[in-house]
Structure 1
């Protein structure tokens, strides 16, 4: 009877663990998502409006739908909270300077959205294994790679090899994308965003979904604010 009771407990525990694994939200946790998606990059984003509705609005505002439908691209996808975080910082700054705040994404000038969105897009298809290692503490040895984004902005792509069990670089690999206004600066001064789920494969490229809790859309909310002032917000 005791052995039967133990078996029941073990079985129940296993069921809970399996259920938790099935419910895991890969937009928060590092790992590989389901590989193939039978549709374009745009259709992939449209299939998950709970995560990407604001991104889709920005794609429409910038009239870049054809890039996501017809071109072969690698896209580092920021989800809704990334936009919320940036707009929140911008609004706090506007409020402190006595200005009206942003209530709709359409109030942000299109050139600002275009510049910031293009930082996440790369021509061609790049999977995790195509991108070299980066180690911020051993940057000269493992520098990742600087690549031009869709609108020719220098961005750094790299894969962080984590340690495991005391063995250097033996743990899981995590892709990340970084922006810096000055590429001569070392990684400690970059704006970096880790990837939560890599190697999603729509029919026209690759999608890597960013960890939303650690990223501001555009990488620097204060640069975003500066661009808004430069082009002029429509707050009427």
Structure 2
């Protein structure tokens, strides 16, 4: 009888653990993932201060917080680490010494009103100029979203997960390159066989979006990799 009770208690504990696991939030760091949230974009960012408290501060400081509270938006969410990269690119500048105009211009590149960008709807790289789609920011500038071809998986061609990327087209020196190297310097020669040589800027790309299609109550959130440099500096 005691053995039966112990087995029963272990089974009950396992069921409780499974139920708790099913209630875990949809956000995961480090892989392509999607899920539905019970909060708007701004509240989601505030709910994760260890990753986005600096982003929230910039949104509040620049007056763009109200934009990410509006309906039918897509926010490509840079992490706080992205801002650290941005400050390091400026010689270790302090965030509170930068003008509101500089911060507003940089943050605006991630906010897209009146559109929901879903991963599966973004075109793959499939033509000579790179493919992808252009979308308008909250300040009416153009940004580019595309998807690199799927990688092979377990020997099956192009069976890997689909990723999307955000680009600042103003950083394309000649034609954009698919390479992303956060440690590279600008400019670099990607292909010397052309005249003029094709130059690429590693900072104009977000790299692969690591967490995609988070469905907030007012729009879509695409979370950027921490290797990205906030603001897409290309000089």
What's the TM-score, normalizing by structure 2?
0.71
Q: Distance in 2 between matches of 1:182 and 1:87?
A: 19
Q: Distance in 1 between matches of 2:228 and 2:129?
A: 26
For structure 2, which runs of at least 5 residues remain unmatched after alignment?
A: 1-23, 178-199
> What is the CA deviation profile of residues 69-106 of structure 1, one whole-angstrom value per residue up to 9, with x for unaligned ones?
123210110111110111012025xxxxxxxxx33x23
Provide the alpha-carbon RMSD of the alignment: 2.6
Aligned to 2:228: 215
Do residues 187 (structure 1) and 179 (structure 2) align? Answer: no
Aligned to 2:159: 170
**Stretch moving more, 56-65 or 182-191:** 182-191
Q: Distance in 1 between matches of 2:61 and 2:44?
A: 18
Structure 1 residue matching 2:164: 3-state secondary structure: strand
Q: Is the 8 A contact 1:30 1:174 kept in 2?
A: no
Q: Distance in 2 between matches of 1:182 and 1:44?
A: 30
Q: Is the 8 A contact 1:133 1:143 kept in 2?
A: yes
Q: Is the 8 A contact 2:106 2:230 kept in 1?
A: yes
Aligned to 1:97: none
Structure 1 residue matching 2:230: 3-state secondary structure: coil
Q: Distance in 2 between matches of 1:178 and 1:163?
A: 24
Q: Distance in 2 between matches of 1:120 and 1:199?
A: 15
Q: 1:111 to 1:201 in 2, by over 3 A?
A: same
Q: Is the 8 A contact 2:68 2:111 kept in 1?
A: no
Aligned to 1:11: none
Q: Distance in 1 between matches of 2:229 and 2:223?
A: 14
What's the TM-score, normalizing by structure 1?
0.71
Alignment match of 2:121 (pick from 130, 148, 151): 130
* 4+ residue segments displaced more than 3 Å: 165-168, 182-185
**Stretch moving more, 166-175 or 116-125:** 166-175
> What is the CA deviation profile of residues 191-226 of structure 1, one whole-angstrom value per residue up to 9, with x for unaligned ones?
2112110010100100010110x2110111x64xxx
Instruction: Give how far 1:182 is off.
Output: 5.6
Instruction: Give how far 1:68 is off.
Output: 1.2
Q: Distance in 2 between matches of 1:184 and 1:169?
A: 29
Q: Distance in 2 between matches of 1:91 and 1:184?
A: 23
Figure out how many residues of one structure are paired with residues of the other and give that number.
186
Query: After superposition, where does 1:76-225 map in structure 2 within 5 Å?
Result: 76-92=76-92, 102-103=93-94, 105-123=95-113, 124-134=115-125, 138-140=126-128, 143-160=131-148, 161-181=150-170, 185-188=174-177, 189=200, 191-193=204-206, 194-212=208-226, 214-220=227-233, 223=235
> What is the CA deviation profile of residues 137-186 of structure 1, one whole-angstrom value per residue up to 9, with x for unaligned ones?
x5428511122222122211012222224444222111111113166842
For structure 1, which runs of at least 5 residues remain unmatched after alignment?
A: 1-21, 93-101, 224-236
Instruction: Give how far 1:31 is off.
Output: 1.1
